[in-house]
Amino acid sequence: MLIRGGVVFDAGGERSADVRTAADGRIAEVAVGLDPLPGEQVHEASGKLVIPGGIDAHTHLHMPVGAVRVSDDFVSGTRAAAVGGTTTIIDYVTVARGDDPMATVATWRSWAEPSVVDWGLHLTFTEAVPESVVAAGVEMGITSFKLYLAYPDRLQVDDGTIVRLMRAARRHGALVTLHCENGGAIEELRREALAAGRTGVIEHARTRPAVLEGEAVGRAATLAEITGASIYIVHVSSAPALAAVRSAQERGVDVKAETCPQYLYLDSSRLEGPDAIDFVCTPPLRDPWHAEELWEGLARGYIHTVATDHCPFWRADRRAGVAGRPGGVTDLTAIPGGLPGHATRLALVWQGVR
């Protein structure tokens, strides 16, 4: 295949050039003025950018959530990724408490096999695991392990478990990724809201305030500081969280940060009105000024990646809720959370860069 007349972006910068791929799909030649070979497929790209395939480092495909399931499987989800210019995804395997981690990985691999783009896996632990599990993960090519500081009922681990995993990850050259929100405080705020009859979808944002994200990022970074671990904060959504990332980086902690298009482009006003339920994600959408801070954090290099946290649900499933009630969700805590992003991520980031 010959891609002709575009502006090529690669490690060498940007230049006008043609790109030829060989029969094995690999790039064979990048040069100016390439003529088509007999039988070669030619794509005219003048006025267009020719870029390397994107990597989306945070996705959830096929995943069951209570009685419902993420609406994209690895075929539809990776097709959307390909359309959006993403040629590699890294999906999160979540090991439920009591389940065997390697059996769960095997299940995920069977789901991921039909993907139309390249894929890798992260492994999420929801309870303490022996170091041998970390070693086995690294052995099979999984080099990043996730912990939650939120959702005490099914996902959250305590600080001691975090320290032990950080030490194990460091010994095996692996990365620890963390969902940072103060789960205990948030659950209390949510109980108070429900007890007071404050049940609107906007309470999703009000009961998960940005300062509790900032607190958890600061705590995770402090634990990385004492263990010497390399950490990666997923879906940084707010100014306090960014401030905690920056503070840790400035004192030499190896902390990388990710944000997502929804936090760069959408805000909490989406959580009011008839479609509010369709905009529930965690961390929640914030007041608009946080997005300005996140763009600034990207520009200055405090935030390293824009991933999607791609996790879409059918609108009917959102309304049925995680308990799958035919009469619909009874309160906001039963709404499955997550937003789609595969098809639009690169274009949205490019728009921001421009």
- Give the nearer residue to Zn ion in terms of CB position, either 90 or 329: 90
Question: With respect to Zn ion, which residue has the nearer C-beta, 85 or 283?
Answer: 283
Smallest distance from the beta carbon of 146 to Zn ion, in angstroms?
8
Q: What are phi and psi of 329, to 5 degrees?
A: -65, 145
Quick one: 167 or 235, whose CB is closer to Zn ion? Answer: 235
Binding test (CB under 5 A) with Zn ion, winner from 18, 56, 181, 309 = 309
Contact at 8 Å (CB) between 180 and 148? no
Q: Closest approach of Cβ 60 to Zn ion, in Å? A: 6
- Per rule CB under 5 A, count of chain residues that contact Zn ion: 1
Q: How far is the CB of 3 from Zn ion (least distance, A)?
A: 34
- Name every residue whose Cβ is closer than 8 Å to that of residue 326 and which is 6 or more positions away in sequence: 320
Q: Segment 137-166, which members bind Zn ion (CB under 5 A)?
A: none
**Whose Cβ is closer to Zn ion: residue 293's or residue 309's?**
309
Pairing state between β 42-44 and 64-65? unpaired
**Residue 127 near residue 97, CB atoms below 8 Å:** yes
Integer Cα distance of 288 and 20 in angstroms:
44
Span interacting with Zn ion, options 2-10, 23-31, 191-199, 309-317, rule CB under 5 A: 309-317
User: What x-and-dash track marks residues 269-308 binding Zn ion by CB under 5 A?
Assistant: ----------------------------------------
- Beta bridge pairs of residue 339: 310
- DSSP string for 158-222: -HHHHHHHHHHHHHTT-EEEEE-S-HHHHHHHHHHHHHTT--STTHHHHTS-HHHHHHHHHHHHH
Q: Do 56 and 308 contact (CB within 8 A), yes or no?
A: yes
Smallest separation, CB 29 to Zn ion (Å): 39
β-bridge pairing 68-69 and 118-125? unpaired
Residue nearest to Zn ion (CB): 309
CB of 186 to Zn ion, least distance (A): 16
Does residue 56 belong to the site contacting Zn ion (CB under 5 A)?
A: no
Q: How far is the CB of 157 from Zn ion (least distance, A)?
A: 16
- For the bound state, the minimum distance from the C-beta of residue 335 to Zn ion, rounded and expressed in Å, comes to 16
Nearer to Zn ion, 56 or 309 (CB): 309
Rounded-to-integer distance, Cα 119 and Cα 312, Å: 18
- Report the sign of the C-alpha dihedral through residues 105, 111, 113, 117, in that order: negative
The footprint of Zn ion (CB under 5 A) covers 309
